[in-house]
Amino acid sequence: MPKSLADGHTKVAILSTKPADPLHPTVAELTAGIDASCRINSADYNVTATASETVEEKELCIEGNAVAFGPSNATIEFTPFRYFGTDGSAEETEADEIGDAVFQATKFKGTRLWLYQRETSKKSTDDWAVGDEVDGFEFITDNPQQVDRTGYVKKKVTGAYQDLWVNGEVGPVAGG
């Protein structure tokens, strides 16, 4: 298959419970979370591993400034759109409609969450499937930040990175 354009191909699930095997979350674990794919602004979505810390651990015989990679790092920033009912209050989650669930899950500082993303040739709206490539991020939310007051009502969420699982794969059963 040829290359795939990125537009409309990032699927995101936000979980309130850590998967049994974070490198291999199951379809059930991912679908139990919030499908945030159509609720986050693509313009500033920035959830990715970043450069790891480096440590100077070279042998005495090595000339030059040799370093080794130490602890991993990640950036977690995204802006959920807000959804409101006719009375102006946050829209409730119903059967096939998640309403304001993404913002509601991320609105309090100190909330621990797990975000999983799939970026392949599959559409964002395609269901999770066993074998899908996924990256997972554990983070703690900061206070949502006001962004420009143009376009739709939205608030930016910044996460304090806790752990990550890159190049994972959706597994058939928990822990496997």
Give φ, ψ of 37 to 5 degrees: -55, -40
Q: State how far the Cα of 42 lies from the Cα of 70, in Å rounded to an integer.
A: 31
Q: Which of 41, 12, 7 is nearest to 132 (CA)?
A: 12
Q: State how far the Cα of 139 lies from the Cα of 141, in Å rounded to an integer.
A: 6
Residue-range definition of the domain harbouring residue 47: 10-169
Ranges of residues in the chain with a pLDDT under 50 are none
Domain containing residue 108: CATH number: 2.40.30
Residue 71: predicted pLDDT: 94
CA angle 174, 117, 128 (to 5 degrees): 55
Residue 16 lies in a domain: yes
| Tens-digit pLDDT profile for residues 110-156 | 999 999 999 999 999 999 999 999 999 999 999 999 998 889 999 99
pTM score above 0.85: yes
If one counts the domains in the chain, the total is: 1
Residue 79 lies in a domain: yes
8-state DSSP, 42: G
